[in-house]
Chain A
Amino acid sequence: MSPDTPRPSDAVALPPPPPAWPMVRALVGVGLVCAVLIVLVYQYTRPIIAANQLEARQAAVFQVLPGAVSSTTYRYVEGEGFTPVADDASGDDLVFAGYDRQGRLVGVAVEAVGMGYQDAVRVLYGYAPDRQAIVGMQVLDSRETPGLGDRANTDPDFLANFAALDVSLTEDGQRIAHPIEAVKHGEKTEPWQIDCITGATITSTAIADMMRESTAVWVPRIAASLDAFQSREVTP
């Protein structure tokens, strides 16, 4: 308001302030009811969502480790190696060992996270120590562009990259001999290369990068302590 505005007429034009109580009552009332409703729905759906997630994780483990019919969750502790934990455990240092019908180790599934085109992309890949290779990959969580980046989980040509992706170790077992790398669509020549999806180069490269970084850490760890995973009783 400028200082030279005539004040008396202003006072006349202003309507009386609205009563506060009805406003407070409406806002607090509606807010309370909404809060109670959200809490109830959250409480009711949380166990169902957690069960769904657990089931989805289990299904993903079996998918990236073809032939696996049961799995055990292991936690890695620096200096102590891998120890089995409950299936609903959570944390960053978990791996999932998959076993076939005879109780033999098929491989170990590991999660990897990296930045995609829109947001973080989370994948699960299966490492088979006897073949020194990645034998499967599944995108667990992504917000990539529908129809482009999200084809990383459906495109059969792209998923074929992960049927036998070479991650063999160097002689000393400390490093990956040929780190995973992404190449343009149709230019894959080596077993450690990932053939990108046309139109989703950023997502494909992101998956290659996160798997290169993840395998550099996890593959030597797993290969060095295979005994920890072998000791499994055959369960009918």
Chain B
Amino acid sequence: MSVDRAATPTTPSTDEFIKGLWRENPVFVQVLGMCPVLAVTNTARNALAMGLATMFVLVGSNVVVSAIRRFVPKQVRIVTYILVIATLVTIVDYSIAALSLELHKALGAFISLIVVNCVILGRAEAFASKNGLWRSFLDGLGMGLGFTFALLCLGAVRELFGMGTLFGAAVLPAAWQDWVIMILPSGGFFTLAGWVLVVNRINQGRARRKDAEAA
């Protein structure tokens, strides 16, 4: 069973780290993992915890998948990846419960649902199964940070408008009337649309400037 490398890597390995932060951001650009993006971003704290838990699983699964890529035949690769991811998620679940029961309660069922987050399976299949350990680690770290960053962007906006607070601390004046809709699932869609708009605007502006320079 031979698994070919996609190509001899020509880009510096730091590029694998940086691409996930913005250029190939898993949420704003690849539009992956929408379930946790919409479900747990109603407060900045939940968003941050979910982002970090996902990042841990993503880094772990990328490293393991990359390490066993020559050992796993392609017919059973998806099953194997899911097994690896589910094991990591179970470990995270128990560890969070041991560290802080309160945080475990706040995240509720969403920790177990990291298993079906398509960012993780997506990176295992698209990247880690074709690349070496170090690059896969960097890819997972970059994508995980990008995912956390995106979740925080949504969580901060939704908490600010929906509850007038940020990380639980009152930010807006007491006269502020909460927009309850921002806390509800529909608010997640509005906020996501707003952020994708902003990100696309910035990226298009950059591309245009680059073209102008080239011309």
Q: What is the interface size of chain B, counting residues whose CB is below 8 A from a CB of the partner?
A: 33
Q: What is the interface size of chain A, counting residues whose CB is below 8 A from a CB of the partner?
A: 29
* Apart from the given pairs A19-B73, A147-B162, 16 other A-B contacts in the complex at a CB distance below 8 Å: A18-B73, A22-B1, A26-B71, A26-B80, A27-B80, A30-B84, A38-B90, A41-B90, A45-B97, A45-B98, A49-B97, A56-B101, A143-B109, A146-B40, A146-B42, A147-B42
Q: Which residues of A contact B101 (CB under 8 A)?
A: 49, 52-53, 56
Q: Which residues of B contact A49 (CB under 8 A)?
A: 94, 97-98, 101
Instruction: Give chain A's interface residues, CB within 8 Å of chain B.
Output: 18-19, 22-23, 25-27, 29-31, 34, 37-38, 41-42, 45, 48-49, 52-53, 56, 141-143, 145-148, 199
Bound-state Cα–Cα, A49 to B99, Å: 8
B80: shortest Cβ distance to chain A, in Å?
A: 5
A41: shortest Cβ distance to chain B, in Å?
A: 5
Query: Contact at B183–A146, with CB atoms within 8 Å?
Result: yes
Instruction: Give chain B's interface residues, CB within 8 Å of chain A.
Output: 1, 40, 42-43, 46, 68, 71-73, 75-76, 79-80, 83-84, 86-87, 90-91, 94-95, 97-98, 101, 105-106, 108-109, 162-163, 180, 183-184
Q: Which residues of A contact B183 (CB under 8 A)?
A: 145-148
B207: shortest Cβ distance to chain A, in Å?
A: 37
Query: Contact at B109–A38, with CB atoms within 8 Å?
Result: no
Query: Contact at B46–A146, with CB atoms within 8 Å?
Result: yes
Query: Contact at B94–A41, with CB atoms within 8 Å?
Result: yes
Q: Which residues of B contact A23 (CB under 8 A)?
A: 73, 75-76
Bound-state Cα–Cα, A148 to B162, Å: 10
Q: Which residues of B contact A147 (CB under 8 A)?
A: 42-43, 162-163, 180, 183-184
Across the interface, name the chain B residue whose C-beta is closest to A21: B73
A–B Cβ pairs within 8 angstroms, 19 of them: A19-B73, A22-B73, A23-B76, A26-B71, A27-B76, A30-B83, A41-B94, A45-B95, A52-B98, A52-B101, A141-B105, A145-B184, A146-B106, A146-B183, A147-B42, A147-B163, A147-B183, A148-B180, A148-B183
B62: shortest Cβ distance to chain A, in Å?
A: 15
Chain A binding surface, main DSSP class: helix
Query: Contact at B95–A41, with CB atoms within 8 Å?
Result: yes
Quick one: which of A34, A142, A148 contacts B84, CB cutoff 8 A? A34
Quick one: which of A18, A27, A143, A199 contacts B108, CB cutoff 8 A? A143
Closest 9 CB pairs of A and B: A147-B183, A34-B87, A45-B98, A48-B98, A45-B94, A26-B72, A52-B101, A22-B73, A147-B42
Q: Which residues of B contact A148 (CB under 8 A)?
A: 180, 183-184
Across the interface, name the chain A residue whose C-beta is closest to B101: A52
Q: Total A-B pairs in contact (CB under 8 Å)?
A: 77
Query: Contact at B68–A30, with CB atoms within 8 Å?
Result: yes
Bound-state Cα–Cα, A18 to B162, Å: 55
Bound-state Cα–Cα, A45 to B97, Å: 8
Query: Contact at A29–B71, with CB atoms within 8 Å?
Result: yes
Q: Which residues of B contact A38 (CB under 8 A)?
A: 87, 90-91
Across the interface, name the chain B residue whose C-beta is closest to A36: B87
Q: Given A141-B105, A146-B46, are A31 and B83 neighbors across the interface (CB < 8 Å)?
A: yes
Across the interface, name the chain B residue whose C-beta is closest to A140: B105
Q: Which residues of A contact B76 (CB under 8 A)?
A: 23, 26-27
Q: Which residues of B contact A141 (CB under 8 A)?
A: 105
